[in-house]
Each structure stands twice: as C-alpha cells, then as structure tokens.
C-alpha cells in the first residue's frame, strides 16, 4: 500500500506539473478577456467617441491635422476662428473647446460651481500633483488658496522674494550672460534652459528656503529635475488619450509611458521629501521667510506637503521660464520693442545704469515693460489652455449643450489669435495696445485668461510679474539677445503642462555699451 500511495502521489505531482502552464495560460486568457470586455463596455457606454466620423474627430484620431499645422494648439486655434460661436466640440475627447470671452465668463464666474476641476482631471494628474492646489476642488483647494494668498500678499514675503530675485540676477544670471557675450561672436546658449534653471533656483529659495544652484551651467541638470520634466510631460499626455481606460490599463500593467511616469514620480517624490527634510533640518516652521516654512505651521502631513511642494515647483519654474523664453524670442524678432524698453528704463531710473536692487523700486513705474510682457503672454500664454468638468448638464451662452461629465476647455492660446477678440492685428506683437496715454490699462480677464479669472485667479500673479519684469529690465538694458534659427512666426512646442519650445531657444548674447560713460552697466 505504501508503494502504491507513493506512486499515486508522484503521478498527481506530475499531472499538476504538466497542467501548471495550461492553468497559467487559461488564467491569462481569462484576464485578457475580462479586460477586453471592460474596454468594450467602456466604449459602448461612452458613445460616440471611437466611431464619431465628423471631420474634426477624424482629423484628430488620424493625425491628419499635422499636415497643415506644426502644433495641435494652432489647429485648435484654426478651428475656433472658423466657428461662428468660437466654440468647437471634439467628441472623441468629450471636450468642448472655446475661445469666446462670454463663454469663458460663464464657466469661470457665472457657473463656477458647475465647473470644478473635476474627478477626471484630478485623476489624470493625481500621480504627479496629488492633492496640490492645481488638482483639487472644495475645502482642500480653499484651504491651500487662503493660506497661499495670505502669505503671498504679506509685505515680508514680497520683500524676501524681491531680495531673492535681485540676488539671482546680480550674482548668477547677469554674470552668466556677460561671460557668454565675451566668447568670440557670442557663445550660443539655450535661453530656455537658462531661464528654467534661473526660475528653479528662485522658486526653491522663495518657496522652500533652499538653494539648488541650478544656474551654474557647469553643473549638469539634476536627475531629479529631469524626472520632474518627464512627469509633467507624461501626465499631460494622458489628457490626449481618447478614453481614460487606455492609460489606466497601461498603468495597471506598468508598461510604456505609464512605467516611465511611475519611475519619474518616484524620483519627484524623493526630491520633494528631501526639500521637506532639509527645511526641517534648518528649523522648519519656526524659522525662515519661505512659503514652505509657513505651510509647515499648519500642516503636519508629509504627503500633503509633498503635493504642495510639487505644485509650487510647477507654478514657479515652468510658467515663468515659458513666459520669459517666449518674450525674448519675440524681442529678437522686434528690436524696436527692445529699444523702447531701454528708453523707458533710462527715463524711469534716470540713466538706466542703476544697480539691480535699486531698479526694483521703479518696476511699477515701467508701464511699457508691463505692456510688452502682457502682449507677449497674449500670444504665448505659459499655460495654453485650462479645463473644467461639468458637474451637471448645462447650456453655454453660445447655445452649446454640455452634458454632465463633459470637459470644457478655454483656450488662451487661441484667444490671443482671435480677430473677434483682439481685432485684425491680433497676430502682431504690439505692446502699445495695452497703453492709454502712456499708462498700462488691463483688459477683462475673461478676454485675457492667462492668469485664469474669477474665483480661481492665480494667487501668485503679482510675484510672478515682479520676477519676470525684473529679468526683462536687467537683461534688456545690458544685452542684445539674438535667436538662432528660431522665429516667433512658426514656433514649435514640446508636450507638457506648460508651453516649452521644442529644442529649446538657442541664442547668441552680445553685451551692450553704457550710454554715457562707455563702461559696462553695473550689475
């Protein structure tokens, strides 16, 4: 009996061994069929998406729009200009796009409660931005906004930020450009990379009280900073997929872009954790004028602090770098604007050669500089579009019916190119359009939603304008910047949550002579 039992046991083990690959295969097939069924049910539930055969959806799905346009945003602008209501429905994305200021007012102000960021948008950016201010609604958003608004409005923080920007200009950016201008006909620099490093150094000092020293060009860009860019780009790419289940499935299987995103977010988490650790090491909430120290006084959840850190990095580096890069590309094509800026700086400061710190006090009197910056962002907004999701059924002011769950996008880039909004010269870079009797006069934020509008208007707007105007004045009065093989007429953008130029912005830098003494202007 013992022998028979052992024989039987061996036979069972052999049979089990032979069946194991088949069982695994059957399990895999069953899982694949389950996933396929889920995809099919999602497709059926979301009709019309995949089989919408309208011309706009077909052009989007096939990519045929790229035969005529360099950028998706330019194709959208073309569609919106061609629409009598300045509104287009892209069915395959369940996305209503608009460039109509009245509709923007409706979404951002009149029906604000019906158009939150929404769960679909939050899901797209959740891995990267978490519960940061740009990715939440309700009480979480209101708490962060109130705290940030109160701190950013404080004279102490504004003075601290001005000192940081002045120091970065005087000790790093201007010397770097001066050094580049000394090399032959001018060393070729990627100005976009320079501004991203500059803005990253500034935001880390202002927001976290830490100095990463990125503007030292001899230092390679940190792997962690590169991971931040990767996470931003891949998160933005999720929004271009017709159905969320596609990227969700890839994330579940950890393949393709989703695997790269997960790896990048892991490094971003490490960066944010190190920022928080260093801040605590330096004293945390008990010491420091930076924003993170102030947030630490109200928040003891490190994951929540991580999300706030990442949001500040995104807002303080990417948007400012994009805006400054576009500004100097336009300036390279319009030297008359650079000359007008220098004339104003000379007039306001007395001779244009005052030290940077002293010039800061005069920025508010430089109306032409302010107008030129606004005009640049009209044509090249740092964030080209922003989306909300309808919490309930609605009808837009132009008659467009919006079903619950539909994504509604106002397209600031397209709005800057609408004759119906800005007149027949809308494509021209003309700072004078913002001036009345030599003074800057703002337009309605619903015509110019570069900083959003209504309740969610950007709380860091004044700080960002100060930093950008300070850079413009300091650079333009001392250097000529010539873009190489780049034109503002045919820009090419890279994917991302902001609007970086593909391939950067290679420029040649030349030092200007002082007007009076013949010596180089002081820094």
How far is the C-alpha of 103 from the C-alpha of 158, rounded, in Å?
A: 34
Nearest residue to 426 via CA among 152, 177, 80, 146: 80
Nearest residue to 147 via CA among 239, 285, 269: 285
How far is the C-alpha of 507 from the C-alpha of 189, rounded, in Å?
A: 5
Q: Give the DSSP H or E segment for 87.
A: strand 87-90
139 φ/ψ sector (left φ>0, alpha ψ -120 to 50, else beta)? alpha
Residue 172 burial (10 A CB sphere; 0-12, 13-18, 19+): buried
> At 439, is the secondary structure helix, strand, or coil?
strand
Q: Are 391 and 404 in contact (CB under 8 A)?
A: yes
The values of phi and psi at residue 86, to 5°, are 55, 35
Q: Are 371 and 409 in contact (CB under 8 A)?
A: no
How far is the C-alpha of 518 from the C-alpha of 74, rounded, in Å?
A: 45
- Widest Cα–Cα separation across the chain: 113
Residues 311, 317, 318, 323, CA torsion sign: positive
> At 377, is the secondary structure helix, strand, or coil?
helix
The answer to whether 57 is a known ligand-binding residue is: no
Three-class secondary structure assignment of 110-133: HCHHHCCCHHHHHHHHHHHHCCCH
How far is the C-alpha of 237 from the C-alpha of 42, rounded, in Å?
A: 20
Three-class secondary structure assignment of 25-75: HHHHHHHHHHHHHHHHHHHHHCCCHHHCCCHHHHHHHHCHHHHCCCCHHHH
Residue 376 burial (10 A CB sphere; 0-12, 13-18, 19+): buried
Q: Are 492 and 178 in contact (CB under 8 A)?
A: no
Angle at the Cα of 250 from the Cα atoms of 55 and 392, rounded to 5 degrees: 55
Angle at the Cα of 200 from the Cα atoms of 222 and 195, rounded to 5 degrees: 100
From the annotation, which residues make up the binding site for heme? 458
From the annotation, which residues make up the binding site? 458
């Amino acid at each position: 009996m013992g022998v028979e039992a052992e024989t039987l046991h061996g036979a069972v083990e052999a049979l089990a061994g032979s069946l194991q690959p088949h069982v695994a295969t059957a399990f895999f097939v069953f899982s694949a069929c389950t996933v396929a069924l889920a995809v099919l049910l999602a497709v059926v539930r979301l009709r019309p998406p995949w089989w919408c055969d309208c011309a706009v959806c077909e052009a989007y799905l096939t990519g045929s729009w790229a035969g005529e346009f360099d950028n998706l945003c330019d194709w959208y602008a073309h569609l919106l200009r061609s629409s009598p209501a300045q509104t287009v429905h892209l069915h395959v994305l369940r996305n209503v796009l608009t460039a109509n200021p009245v509709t923007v007012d409706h979404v951002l102000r009149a029906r604000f409660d019906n158009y939150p960021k929404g769960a679909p948008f939050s899901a797209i950016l959740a891995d990267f931005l978490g519960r940061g201010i740009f990715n939440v609604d309700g009480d979480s958003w209101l708490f962060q906004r109130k705290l940030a608004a109160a701190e950013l409005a404080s004279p102490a923080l504004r003075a601290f930020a001005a000192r940081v920007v002045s120091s970065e200009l005087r000790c790093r950016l201007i010397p770097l450009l001066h050094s580049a201008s000394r090399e032959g006909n001018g060393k070729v620099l990627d100005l976009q990379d320079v501004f991203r490093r500059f803005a990253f150094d500034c935001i880390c000092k202002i927001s976290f009280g830490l100095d990463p020293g990125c503007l030292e060009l001899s230092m390679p860009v940190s792997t962690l900073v590169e991971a931040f860019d990767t996470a931003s780009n891949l998160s933005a790419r999720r929004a271009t997929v017709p159905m969320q289940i596609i990227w969700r499935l890839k994330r579940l299987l950890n393949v393709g872009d989703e695997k790269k995103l997960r790896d990048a977010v892991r490094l971003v988490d490490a960066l944010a954790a190190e920022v928080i650790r260093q801040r605590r090491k330096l004293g945390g909430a008990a010491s420091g004028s930076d924003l993170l120290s102030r947030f630490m006084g109200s928040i003891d959840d490190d994951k929540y602090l991580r999300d706030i850190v990442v949001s500040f990095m995104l807002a303080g580096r990417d948007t400012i770098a994009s805006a400054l890069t576009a500004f100097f590309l336009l300036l390279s094509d319009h030297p008359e604007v650079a000359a007008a800026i220098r004339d104003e700086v000379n007039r306001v400061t007395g001779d244009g050669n005052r030290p940077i710190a002293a010039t800061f006090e005069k920025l508010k009197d430089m109306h032409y500089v302010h107008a030129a910056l606004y005009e640049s962002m009209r044509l090249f907004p740092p964030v080209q579009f922003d989306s909300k999701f309808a919490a309930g059924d609605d009808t837009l002011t132009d008659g467009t019916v919006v079903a619950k769950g539909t994504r509604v996008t106002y397209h600031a880039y397209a709005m800057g190119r609408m004759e119906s909004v800005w007149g027949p010269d809308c494509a021209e870079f003309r700072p004078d359009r913002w001036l009345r009797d030599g003074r800057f006069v703002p337009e309605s934020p619903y015509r110019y939603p570069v900083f959003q509008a209504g309740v969610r208007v950007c709380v860091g707007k004044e700080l960002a304008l100060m930093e950008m105007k300070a850079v413009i004045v300091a650079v333009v009065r001392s250097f000529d910047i010539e873009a190489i093989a780049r034109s503002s007429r045919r820009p090419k953008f890279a994917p991302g949550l902001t609007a970086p130029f593909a391939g950067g912005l290679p420029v040649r830098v030349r030092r200007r002579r002082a007007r009076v003494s013949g010596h180089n202007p002081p820094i």
